[in-house]
Structure 1
Amino acid sequence: MEKKKPNGRTDAGLRSLNHYQNSLPKWRYYPREKVLPVVRFETPYLAWLQHKMRTPMLDSFFAFTANLGTHTFFMTFLPVLFWSGYPSLGRGTVNVLAAGVFWSGFVKDLLCLPRPLSPPLQRITMSGSAALEYGFPSTHSTNAVSVAIYALWLLRSDTTLSPAVNIACQVALYIYALSIIVGRLYCGMHGFLDVVIGSGLGALIAWVQCAYGPALDNWIVSAPGKEVILMVLIVLVLIRIHPEPADDCPCFDDSVSFAAVFIGANVAAWDLSRSSITSAELTPDTIPYRLESLGWFKTVLRFIIGVLIIFVWREVMKPLLLRSLPPVFRGLEKAGLLLPRRFFTRASEYKTVPGHLKDEEVIPNFSDIPSILTSIRHPRRRAISVGPQSEADAYETLAYREKRRRESVTELFHGVPANPPGDATKRSVSKLEEYESQMGTVSHRLSPDAPVSAQTTSAAAGTLPEAGCPSTADEEDMFSMIKKPRVRYDVEVVTRLIVYMGIGLIVVDYMAYVFDFLGLAP
């Protein structure tokens, strides 16, 4: 029996190899077990592909371009669309991204499928938290495909661009989506099934947006207040029924953030369409903008002031809510009115929450900006690691090792030696067999910027331990290697909802009044 701490985590050394069978209901465990063999089957082929393609230049290229498939990248630049007179395009992009992040995270936490094993794969990334999530499906692929298809649909109906520019934009979108998808395979972060299903999910989301997005826009600007409130309640219910993961996975955090942005952006559009400050030239929810009237100086000034206000809102409200909400949650907890989520520490178990929690944010902190700029200036900076990085990785490594041990015992029981005499010495071991032999082993992580020549794992030299039944000390050693998620607090869910709903309101609605007050409106 596993010994669990109050926050839902399990003590190292007491983790069962039947962890997922014990943690998940049968209706979630059954499909997981059906898909898991595919993930394992893919791994040697992915390692072979990575080995054939690896170069320092491609390492840097795919590690850097992976940032272009994140929701952080999109949300950093989306305000420009709303402040440049393109609210429908901005809200459509928010819709596909919010749906992609939410539903890919929903499936990830539902099935709890691991990423392909490392070793034999080497993980190449510029994001420390990406490997903490489950692998199936790929959110990067979902985001890239949904945005690319949505943009292609708009381009093919656009008559304002010249044919040459229109075709160039379409080609760029194909290259963009393909580079993100191939990059997830190259970087060892996802398998073929992950990116195929992720891309399919992105295509489905884009189709829904293309087919029903205009109707949603028309409904938003004409709906009565009660219907808008109902829409908000439906999204909040979806957040609440988001599956509880078997491990401490941060997928839920991103789902909450983008669901909140979706709520804020649509409520803001509804409110702005009823004001007298909007532009009647396009849609009722358009913040007035004309380059001919404002000029480039005021246009750039609008963007600078708007972004600063977003950062100030986030920097002020987040620590304020993290200080003020815990007493409220303690009172609600005593009254039995809370439905706590697993892996979130309850307010009764802590006194204070740190004001600036270090994690992967949809909108980065002020303190993160220098490191982001450094990454842009020096794209060769990336982390290359070998070995388990998350609890899901560690569990899969142990489970695959146990699988190999049982297969070996079965072979011996039936009188079939693991290495038939004269067989292994007469033929050389293929690369696929070599990579398969590394699965379920453990290797220490390599430091960032390690050259490709230094990235050969000790398994290739035959020095890694044989697969077998892990001891308690072996389990403790493995779980000590992984990157442990930081402590998460129950008040963070409501904090994220308020902060990111506020960002949506500021971008789509309130900045219209700020621009008008500062003389930055046409």
Structure 2
Amino acid sequence: MGKTNGAKDQPDAGLRSLDHYATQLPLWRYWPRQKLIPLVRYETPYLAWVQEKVRTPTLDSYFAFTANLGTHTFFMVFLPFLFWCGHTSLGRGLVHILASGVFFSGFIKDLLCLPRPLSPPLQRITMSGSAALEYGFPSTHSTNAVSVAVYAIALLNSPDSTVPAQTNFILQAITYLYVTSIVLGRLYCGMHGFFDVIVGCILGALIGLVQFSYGPAFDEYILSATLKEILVIPIVILILVRIHPEPADDCPCFDDSVAFAGVTLGVDVGSWYFTTSSLAWADPLPGTIPYNYESIGLIKTVFRLVVGVLCVFAWREITKPTLLRILPPIFRSLEKVGLLLPRRFFTTASRYTTVPTNLKDNEVFPNFSDIPSIITTIRHPRRRAISIGPQSEADAYETLAYREKRRRESLSGSNRDSPADENGRPNGGPVLSRKPSKLDQYEHMMGTGSPNSSMVEDDSNIPRSSPLPPPEYGGIRRTDEKEVFSQIKKPRVRYDVEVVTKLVVYAGIPWVVINVAPPVFEMIGLGVPS
């Protein structure tokens, strides 16, 4: 998912000790997690073997860069263009797809709290340099990419498609290349396992098919709804946000779910309201934002996009700090009368006076100040971060767990592949064993390494052979827990008002796109001539 630099201050989620999950999760969530943990660990050496066999500097750059095309940030930046260029129905459909993918994949992640494959033996390759902050199962990148691809291909193959045959073929080829690059890239970059991407692909395919089959009916409901009927949408969205599972770790999945819940709320209610506007076109669907390339031309089209983006950034830059300033006193009053339902990892308003204005967060839509770094990333696609070894508090837990596991196996003389829990104790889970082979050296690397061993490299610094470190990388020193955790940074404080702030800000973004930008276009001469 797109993260800011502040993300590096948070621990990788999903790799704490067994006792932690046993106490934080109810039995109905803890039991399936423990049954699936052996599978996550079992496939890690195979992932490392594949990564070593196929890695090249060129593929590193390619998959690190294309991963950006499957993030929430990429879609949030470019989806408004569809609305402003007359493809309102397509834009609304993609919003529904992406919001569903982000929400339900995040729901499952926080429900089961399954970790990503360990590094080492894997190396994590990204464009940002920050380690994975979310749980691993399922892969949201894969869900997003497959849902968009399935929906796009279904539209292109639909009898109602008016796209010329040659253009249709090119678009389908690009779609297949796109989805393949994203899904395989999650494995190549060491960010997900086979199980993560397979389930993510299945979830994405289901979402894409549902939108293609029932999207037109839902559009008809939205655009012809009465006030009472349209109020059903915010009620359902607020209920979904409320029942989102509490994670066992400080994981940002909930933040992304809230953001896209707000986007869905804004795009549906905003579309409904725009149908009453004198600017709205009724063709091809009611509520279409006016646009005609022949009458506007390329220059005005580009200016429309620039002005529209500036409107969105203005909303974001003004609304977020304003809400963070005025909401804490309101929350303190509500807290006194017991009207708040606090979430874990969010500090309640009674425990702070003000919210810092320079919060480093995992934002779906970038800040205006982030634009220079985004441009730099695009200009230097061969630059990426390669992380090796434990980088966080959660990785440190897993490092200690593997050392304890080996110590207990050594004392008991048990098979090294026998099932054990995070603390090295037999857990009665399914036995997943391999015959001794070269893969054992990768298994041996699990739980080794030194924290904070990350680096930013370009092609000239990446070795052309043996891209993975040798098994002795970092050593297996008998380091006590205090020393290991002394190298791990603590996550930043999160404030309860951030949830409502995010919901309001992201609900307002599509409202600005649909109801604010079009009148602005008309006022400055970028509208469609009558």
Structure 1 residue aligned with 2:220 = 218
In structure 2, relative to structure 1, the CA distance for the partners of 1:57 and 1:331 (3 Å cut) is same
Which consecutive residues of structure 1, in runs of 5 or more, have no partner in the other structure?
A: 1-8, 417-428
Instruction: Provide the alpha-carbon RMSD of the alignment.
Output: 2.3
Q: How much does 1:224 deviate?
A: 1.2
Q: Which amino acid aligns with 1:40?
A: R
Quick one: distance in 2 between partners of 1:58 and 1:458?
Answer: 18
Q: Distance in 1 between matches of 2:370 and 2:73?
A: 12
For 2:489 and 2:65, locate their aligned partners in 1 and report how far apart those are by CA, in whole Å.
Answer: 21
Q: Deviations over 1:292-340 (max 9, x none)?
A: 2222222111111110010011011111111111111111111111111
User: SS of 1:447's equivalent?
Assistant: strand
Query: How much has 1:375 moved relative to structure 2?
Result: 0.6
Partner of 2:44: 43
2:423 is matched with which residue?
none
1:430 offset after TM fit, Å? 4.1
SS in 2 for 1:316: helix
Quick one: which of 378, 398, 403 aligns to 1:376?
378
In structure 2, the partner of 1:476 is 482
Partner SS, residue 374 of structure 1? helix
Q: Which residue in 1 is equivalent to 2:150?
A: 149
Distance 1:463 1:144 in 2: 36
Distance 1:440 1:194, change over 3 A: same
Residue of structure 1 in register with 2:193 after alignment: 191
Aligned to 1:283: 285
Give the SS at the match of 2:231. Answer: helix
Q: 2:462 aligns with which of 445, 448, 452?
A: 452
Mapping for residues 28-177 of structure 1, pairs under 5 Å: 28-128=29-129, 131-157=132-158, 159-177=161-179
Change in CA separation of 1:210 and 1:476 when aligned onto 2, cut-off 3 Å: farther
Q: 2:395 is matched with which residue: 393, 396, 410?
A: 393
Q: 2:288 & 2:518 partners in 1: Cα distance? A: 9
In structure 2, the residue matched to 1:181 is 183
Code of the residue aligned with 1:379 in structure 2: it is P
| Residues 357 and 365 (structure 1), Cα distance of their counterparts in 2 relative to 1, 3 Å cut | same
More deviation, 177-186/477-486: 477-486
- In the alignment, what sits opposite 1:442? 449
The correspondence of residues 480-519 of structure 1 with structure 2, limited to 5 A, is 480-482=486-488, 484-519=490-525
How far apart, CA to CA, are the structure 1 residues paired with 2:481 and 2:78? 44
8 A contact 1:346–1:489 mirrored in 2: yes
Structure 2 match to 1:420:
none
The amino acid of 2:166's aligned partner reads A
What are structure 2's unaligned runs of at least 5 residues?
1-9, 419-435
Counterpart residue type for residue 301 of structure 1: F
Aligned 8 A contact 2:246 2:344 in 1: yes
Counterpart secondary structure, 1:245:
coil
Whether contact under 8 Å (2:349, 2:496) holds in the other structure is yes
Tell me by how many angstroms 1:461 deviates.
3.5
Q: Is residue 476 of structure 2 the alignment partner of residue 465 of structure 1?
A: yes
Rounded Cα–Cα distance in structure 1 between residues aligned with 2:413 and 2:106:
40
1:364 equivalent to 2:366? Answer yes
TM-score (norm 2): 0.88
Return closer, same or farther for 1:250/1:480 CA change in 2, 3 Å cut-off.
farther
CA contact (8 A) 2:346 2:495 kept: yes
Instruction: Specify which of 348, 351, 354 is matched with residue 353 of structure 2.
Output: 351
Letter aligned with residue 47 of structure 1: A
Residue 189 of structure 1: CA displacement?
0.5
Amino acid in structure 1 at the alignment position of 2:443: E
Identity %: 63
Q: CA deviation at 1:458?
A: 6.4
Following the alignment from structure 1 to structure 2, what is the Cα–Cα distance between the partners of residues 504 and 489? 25
Matches of 2:490 and 2:100, distance apart in 1 = 28
- In the alignment, is residue 204 of structure 1 matched against residue 214 of structure 2? no
- In structure 2, distance between residues paired with 1:457 and 1:203: 34
With over 3 angstroms needed to count, the CA separation of the structure-2 counterparts of 1:382 and 1:140, relative to structure 1, is same
- Counterpart of 2:132 in 1: which secondary structure? helix
Shift of 1:20: 0.9
- 2:449·2:474 contact (CA, 8 Å) conserved in 1? no
SS in 1 for 2:125: strand
Q: Secondary structure at the match of 2:386?
A: strand
Equivalent AA in structure 2 for residue 324 of structure 1 = I
Partner of 1:3: none
Displacement of 1:411 in angstroms is 1.8
What's the offset of the Cα at 1:357? Answer: 1.7
Q: Is the 8 A contact 2:105 2:138 kept in 1?
A: yes
C-alpha distance in structure 1 between counterparts of 2:325 and 2:400, whole Å: 40
Q: Retained in 2: the 8 A contact 1:345–1:490?
A: yes
Tell me, yes or no, if the aligned pair for 2:46 and 2:439 is still in contact at 8 Å: yes
Cα distance in 2 for residues equivalent to 1:328 and 1:159:
51
Instruction: Please tell me the residue identity of whatever aligns with 1:135.
Output: G
Q: Does structure 1 conserve the Cα–Cα contact (< 8 Å) formed by 2:52 and 2:467?
A: no
**What displacement does 1:96 show?**
0.5
Kindly tell me: are residues 477 and 277 of structure 1, through their superposed partners in 2, closer, same or farther at Cα, counting changes over 3 Å? same
5 Å-filtered alignment, 1:278-427, equals 278-411=280-413
